[in-house]
Amino acid sequence: MPIVKYPRAREPLYYEWDRRAQKCGLRHTVFAVNGDQYTGEWLDNMKHGKGTQIWKSTGAIYSGDWKFGKQDGYGSYSVPDPVTKEYKRVYTGWWKNGQKTGQGVSFYPNGERYEGEWSDGVRGGWGRMHYLDGSSYEGQWEADQPNGQGMLRLPNGNRYEGGWKDGKKHGPGRYFYVDKGQLLEGTWAEDIAKCGVLVDFSRDRAPAPTQYPIPKIELRDPDGVLAEAQALLDYSDN
């Protein structure tokens, strides 16, 4: 009886191509259609683990931790200088779901620097901002603005300690005029002091004190004042 051999069934080639295209584990550089490139670890076709991404349109580089296709963990983000083409750090710190979240340091193009907490990609929590003019703010942040309690220190040493709202002095606070040796303690609203008491403070150590010291106000006992008033009334009745 003749033996008939049937050809072994083979799966379509695109099944094999698809398996080879699956990215999992450590891979060499993978280029996207738009020219972006990624070198690092993968899991189920998503960037996951340690890796470096380069965006072709901007030249920006992120190197650090990834989780399910997004920056998550600790990493550094840098961009090339438009003139020198050298890379400059923009942010180094913690990320979550592709956003700056947690502790981190951000470097701004004009030379300013922020060190502190982030929330959903913006400054939020406790942090310190170093401004270009030499001043600095340290305190609470919310929605990328000073909000809550904080201290603003100016280049000449003067400082404000107190409440803030939407980046402006707001609420009870104290303004130390270190250069004049004076202290203003009062209430602010939208960066303007609405009311308060101005007194001398470390006047003997001030570099440019005012010509005359502020006279001290003596507070008298209210009971004593009433007693004096009653005595005057009694005297007038007699």
Q: What is the pLDDT of residues 85-96, one digit of tens each?
A: 899 999 999 999
Q: What global pTM score does this model have?
A: 0.78
Asked whether residue 176 is assigned to any structural domain, the reply reads no
Asked whether residue 121 is assigned to any structural domain, the reply reads no
SS3 content of the chain, % helix, strand, coil (to 5): 10, 55, 35
Asked whether residue 123 is assigned to any structural domain, the reply reads no
Give the pLDDT confidence score for residue 15 in this predicted structure. 44
Q: Which DSSP letter does residue 231 get?
A: H
Asked whether residue 195 is assigned to any structural domain, the reply reads no
Give the pLDDT confidence score for residue 156 in this predicted structure. 94
Q: Which domain holds residue 10?
A: 1-67+76-95
Closest by CA to 52, choosing from 76, 81, 35, 34, is 76
Q: How many residues does the chain have?
A: 238
Give the pLDDT confidence score for residue 155 in this predicted structure. 96
Give the pLDDT confidence score for residue 238 in this predicted structure. 56
Q: Which DSSP letter does residue 160 get?
A: E
Give the pLDDT confidence score for residue 115 in this predicted structure. 98
Give the pLDDT confidence score for residue 211 in this predicted structure. 80
Give the pLDDT confidence score for residue 48 in this predicted structure. 94
Asked whether residue 32 is assigned to any structural domain, the reply reads yes
Give the pLDDT confidence score for residue 18 in this predicted structure. 47
Q: Alpha-carbon distance 13 to 11, whole Å?
A: 6
Q: What are the residue ranges in the chain where pLDDT is below 50?
A: 14-15, 17-18, 21, 225, 229
How many structural domains is the chain composed of? 1
Asked whether residue 153 is assigned to any structural domain, the reply reads no
